[in-house]
Amino acid sequence: MFITDLKRDKGMVAIYDLINDRYLRSIIPKGNGPSELSAVSSIVGGNDGRIYFYDLQSLRLLEADLNKLITDSLVQPVYSKRIISDDYEKPLRIVNASDTSFIAYSVPGIKGRFSFLDRNFGFTGHQFGEYPPLEKTGEAHDMAQVPFYAQVLGNIYSSSISTLPSNNFFIVAHHNVDLIEIYDYKSGQRLKRIIGPDQNFPPAYVINSGGQGAPCLECRCGYSSPQITSRYYAFLRLHKLYKEADAYLSRYIYLFDFEGRLISVLELDAEISEFVIDEQRKKIYAIAFDEDSVLLSYDLPV
């Protein structure tokens, strides 16, 4: 397993051996060198055993042979390309749609928030995903299209994304709104919009002094770390108020069935920032924020 781990000096990505439950090593130091990045916003598998690390700040992509990276301590990811185009907006996050295709989430997303990339991470021209509705209030009334999309819609509807390539599902977890969206990514059609227990949709928001849209301070946040299993959708429920400093940490995982009904709430013993579900091992692996061990493991109860 590869996770971002900023606590280790040797690199921003830690490699863990889940079979033997041990830390192996860290890779990708912070910097501008051939095996360095400014930050790591996406870790993506694909292309016949390759693994990729993307930096949204520099738009640089590193790549490596997955098996060699795990088994050979001398192997480091190397520079592959910059993902940049005059005709498309820069990707914030990237996930795999298949072994040879990828989906990028971009802002401002005027022609669609999500774009298909080919096996070489080139834009294919297929875009989908309109923003959910948002009422223009106050200063937003006077904004032109680009700043409204980039500074208001892009901020309010900041999201995490995930796919399940076996059935073309693509899920969008909105960080600041009690809202989840499910798409068929091949057709670009939105299949379902799930409004959660707080019913915070359409959301209340303010325009700050810098012209950026922000949720109201007393508003509760939404979801992150979306997962699709064979039986349900899973999300980290960001249950705190937006004004709280640790609003994007939580100990609650919400499970929804494929009809959008909340079927279970899992409460962990630590606050986490991300998690993954391993159905084969019946485990939840979570990234802890303020624990001695960054990677936590839990038995999957359902």
Summarised one tens digit per residue, pLDDT across range 137-193 is 888 888 899 999 999 999 999 999 999 877 889 999 999 999 999 999 999 999 999
Query: How sure is the predictor about 34, in pLDDT bands with cuts at 50, 70 and 90?
Result: confident
The answer to whether residues 159 and 293 belong to one domain is yes
Residue 161 lies inside a defined structural domain of this protein: yes
Query: Is the pLDDT confidence value at 119 over 80?
Result: yes
Query: Is the pLDDT confidence value at 291 over 70?
Result: no
Cα gap 169→152, rounded to integer Å: 27
Q: Which CATH number do you get for residue 167?
A: 2.40.128.630
Cα gap 219→200, rounded to integer Å: 8
Residue 188 lies inside a defined structural domain of this protein: yes
Please list the alpha-helical segments (H only) found in 185-259.
none
Residue 113 lies inside a defined structural domain of this protein: no
Average pLDDT, the chain: 91
Cα separation values, 251 from 21, 48, 178, 237, 283, Å = 22, 35, 17, 8, 16
The answer to whether residues 145 and 293 belong to one domain is yes
Give the pair of three-digit tokens for residue 237.
């429920």
Residue 127 lies inside a defined structural domain of this protein: no
Summarised one tens digit per residue, pLDDT across range 179-234 is 999 999 999 999 999 998 877 888 989 998 888 999 988 888 999 999 999 999 99
The answer to whether residues 140 and 281 belong to one domain is yes
Query: Is the pLDDT confidence value at 62 over 90?
Result: yes
One-letter identity of residue 194 = I
- The predicted model scores a pTM of 0.92
Query: Is the pLDDT confidence value at 275 over 80?
Result: yes
Number of domains in the chain: 2
Query: Is the pLDDT confidence value at 8 over 70?
Result: no
The answer to whether residues 149 and 274 belong to one domain is yes
Residue 112 lies inside a defined structural domain of this protein: no
- Domain of 261, in residue numbers: 132-302
The answer to whether residues 57 and 188 belong to one domain is no
